């Protein structure tokens, strides 16, 4: 069993389309295999997420106008959609004849002119259906019979009142042929459907509002709700795209490739454009195409040639000399002075003994240091700041950290953040630069400080290398990889390992194997 809560911002729209306003429920009877259960659940969840994304896209775009020709083009899409809804459950010919009779005699016929009955049967002159007064009267019934509200929601479309009337009139002219087609199919008549040929191609309306790159990105952000760090980093990409493309609804491959090649400069490497920028663009544009906000996504096909680099280092972990340089320098820092000194003193040591990301440590608060069953732990949680996996974890503190007086340092913090001030100074950000929290700025300062110690090899990261160092050392002393993965926050390698997730106390016991770093 599973439940999926419907987000507040689209509950009314979801209820109007799918009947449930608060949540959707999934249930699978016992007896299904694990594989089948996961597959069925995945399909169910993907369907719900797609519904939510489409409804949000419709709200984001706002009401759209239509020309008369485009109203009939959209009616053509409805015609194909309506047939597809019923082709798998065609019922009997009598069912469709009954619906046809209802449409003719209960919906349309009451509005016929007085002399209609006296006209020849072979010359009914039904042109009176197009009378504005008749159109107004029959639209509600046509909308209900044709399920147009469901169609527009599934298409992620919202129409202006005038456009809605044009669309319903076009559907009204084609609902009878649709019912007749379903009746023919129910009899086994699969001859070519000539009615499909009457619909025009959809044409862009000149003068319609362009879709800006940053608007597309903001719509994606609202619908997908990615990690905060992703939003900050990718904002730069779409601000730059906004300057180059006034309308992103139909960017050609040639224009996309020329622009991306021109992004490479002294400050922005080829690798950055090929990986980070291309990933952002193809992801958001792909979503935009799926939601029918834009016409195409050229970026998956764009290839940026990245020169291969020479690799001189054996690993991405620190070597013994680098470890001693950094940790010895940290010991010389005074944690009773500035926040910078506190971070330089403790962050490298904590990273060395936990393999945690530096940003996870610089955002620690005194309350995150806990004691359980005689052991001490650091609680790394999204409530303190950014966690890449968005999942909290509890990591043990090595006895060497305690021996150095880390708990005394935590007690002096009196519940406040350990490595940045609680009174935040105003954030001054460059126009295109991502915003950083105080903890993120401190992480960067720690990295700059490590570089100042002479750790200048560009193949090594001044902060992230501790993760490689910790994992290598843990493997070397025989710590089970399940435990080192849990401490560093790496996902289990297999589904089976996820079932044997170790407890924090298990991790503390395993960490006893991890030796002290010697810096003297």
Report the distance separating Cα 218 and Cα 235, nearest Å.
9
Confidence bin at 136 (pLDDT 50/70/90): confident
Quick check: 2 and 42 in contact, CB under 8 A?
Answer: no
pLDDT at 126: 58
Tokens standing for residue 55: 């409804």
Q: Which residue has the higher pLDDT, 451 or 67?
A: 451
pLDDT at 497: 75
Average pLDDT over residues 416-423: 87
pLDDT at 340: 93
417 - beta bridge partners? 365
Helix axes 278-290, 228-244, angle to 10 degrees: 80
Share of the chain above pLDDT 90, in %: 34
Confidence bin at 430 (pLDDT 50/70/90): very low
Q: Which residues contact 394 (CB under 8 A, 6 or more apart)?
A: 370, 377, 378, 379, 380, 504, 507
Q: Which residue has the higher pLDDT, 52 or 402?
A: 402
Cα–Cα distance list, 520 to 28, 104, 475 (Å) = 62, 95, 24
- Average pLDDT, rounded, for the chain: 84
Q: What's the farthest any 2 CA atoms get from each other in the chain?
A: 111
pLDDT value at 112 more than 70:
no
Residues 31-59 have pLDDT tens digits of: 777 767 776 777 777 677 767 776 776 66
pLDDT at 428: 47
pLDDT value at 431 more than 50:
no
| CB-based burial, 443-453: b 16+ in 10 Å, e otherwise | bebbbebbeee
Report the distance separating Cα 260 and Cα 266, nearest Å.
14
Cα–Cα distance list, 345 to 69, 342, 358, 409 (Å) = 71, 5, 13, 11
Average pLDDT over residues 336-359: 94
Confidence bin at 352 (pLDDT 50/70/90): very high
Query: Within 13 Å and on the Cβ side, how many CA atoms surround 421?
Result: 9
Chain length of the chain: 520
Residue 322 backbone phi and psi in degrees, to 5: -65, -40
Q: Which residues contact 239 (CB under 8 A, 6 or more apart)?
A: 213, 214, 431, 432
Least confident of 213-222, 223-232, 318-327, 498-507: 223-232
**Is residue 256 within a helix (H) or strand (E), and if so which, with residue range?**
helix 253-261
Least confident of 208-217, 277-286, 388-397: 208-217
Average pLDDT over residues 219-246: 87
Residues 147-185 have pLDDT tens digits of: 888 888 777 777 888 889 999 999 888 888 988 998 898
Confidence bin at 285 (pLDDT 50/70/90): very high
Tokens standing for residue 96: 């469709």
Task: Select from 426, 471, 447, 460 the least CA-distant residue to 362.
Answer: 447
Confidence bin at 378 (pLDDT 50/70/90): very high
Confidence bin at 283 (pLDDT 50/70/90): very high
* Helix/strand/coil for 365: strand
Tokens standing for residue 169: 């009139």
Report the distance separating Cα 81 and Cα 169, nearest Å.
17
pLDDT value at 121 more than 50:
no
R_g (Cα) of the chain, nearest Å: 32
Residues 94-108 have pLDDT tens digits of: 888 888 888 777 777
Confidence bin at 89 (pLDDT 50/70/90): confident
Confidence bin at 451 (pLDDT 50/70/90): very high
Number of other CB atoms surrounding residue 416 within 10 Å: 12
Share of the chain above pLDDT 70, in %: 88
Q: Which residues contact 204 (CB under 8 A, 6 or more apart)?
A: 249
Number of other CB atoms surrounding residue 506 within 10 Å: 16
Residues 486-500 have pLDDT tens digits of: 999 988 777 777 777
Residue 369 per-residue DSSP state:
E
Report the distance separating Cα 49 and Cα 226, nearest Å.
14
pLDDT at 58: 63
| CB-based burial, 263-299: b 16+ in 10 Å, e otherwise | bbeeeeeeeebbebbbebbbbbbebbeebebbeebbb
Confidence bin at 209 (pLDDT 50/70/90): low
Question: Kindly report the CA angle at 350 between 344 and 354, in degrees rounded to 5?
Answer: 150
Tokens standing for residue 397: 């503190």
């Amino acid at each position: 069993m599973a439940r999926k809560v419907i987000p507040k911002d689209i509950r009314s729209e979801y209820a109007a389309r799918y009947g449930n306003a608060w949540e959707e429920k999934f249930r699978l009877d016992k007896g299904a295999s694990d594989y089948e259960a996961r597959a069925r659940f995945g399909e169910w969840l993907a369907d719900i997420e797609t519904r939510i994304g489409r409804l949000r896209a419709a709200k984001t775009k706002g009401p759209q106008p239509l020309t008369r020709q485009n109203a009939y083009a959209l009616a053509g899409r409805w015609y194909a959609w309506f047939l597809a809804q019923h082709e798998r459950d065609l019922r009997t010919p009598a069912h469709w004849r009954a619906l046809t009779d209802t449409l003719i005699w209960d919906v349309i016929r009451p509005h016929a002119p007085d002399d209609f009955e006296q006209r020849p049967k072979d010359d009914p002159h039904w042109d009176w259906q197009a009378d504005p007064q008749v159109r107004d009267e029959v639209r509600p019934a046509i909308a209900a019979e044709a399920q147009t509200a469901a169609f527009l929601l599934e298409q992620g479309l919202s129409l202006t009142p005038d456009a809605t009337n044009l669309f319903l009139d076009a559907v009204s002219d084609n609902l009878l042929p649709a019912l007749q087609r379903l009746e023919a199919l129910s009899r086994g008549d699969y001859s070519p459907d000539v009615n499909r040929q009457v619909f025009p191609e959809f044409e862009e309306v000149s003068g319609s509002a362009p879709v800006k790159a940053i608007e597309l990105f903001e719509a994606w952000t609202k619908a997908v709700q990615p990690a905060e760090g992703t939003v900050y980093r990718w904002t730069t990409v779409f601000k730059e795209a906004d300057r180059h493309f006034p309308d992103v609804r139909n960017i050609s491959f040639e224009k996309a490739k020329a622009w991306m090649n021109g992004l490479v400069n002294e400050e922005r490497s080829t690798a950055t454009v090929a990986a980070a920028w291309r990933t952002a663009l193809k992801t958001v544009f792909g979503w935009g195409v799926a939601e029918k906000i834009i016409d195409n996504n050229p970026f998956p096909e764009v290839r940026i040639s990245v020169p291969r680099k020479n690799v001189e280092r054996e690993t991405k972990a620190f070597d013994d000399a680098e470890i001693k340089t950094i940790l010895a320098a940290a010991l010389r820092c005074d944690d009773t002075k500035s926040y910078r000194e506190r971070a330089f003193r403790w962050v490298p040591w904590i990273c060395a003994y936990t393999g945690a990301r530096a940003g996870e440590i610089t955002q620690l608060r005194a309350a995150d240091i806990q004691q359980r069953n005689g052991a001490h732990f650091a609680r790394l949680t999204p409530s303190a700041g950014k966690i890449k996996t968005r999942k909290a974890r509890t990591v043990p503190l090595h006895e060497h950290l305690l021996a150095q007086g880390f708990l005394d340092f935590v007690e002096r913090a009196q519940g406040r953040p350990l490595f940045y001030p609680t009174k935040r100074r105003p954030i001054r950000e460059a126009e295109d630069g991502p915003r950083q929290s105080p903890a993120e700025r401190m992480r960067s300062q720690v990295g700059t400080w490590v570089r100042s110690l002479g750790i200048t090899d560009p193949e090594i990261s001044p902060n992230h290398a501790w993760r490689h160092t910790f994992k290598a050392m843990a493997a070397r002393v025989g710590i089970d990889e399940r435990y080192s993965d849990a401490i560093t926050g790496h996902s289990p390698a297999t589904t089976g390992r996820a079932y044997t997730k170790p407890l924090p106390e298990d991790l503390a016991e395993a960490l006893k194997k991890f030796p002290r770093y010697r810096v003297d």
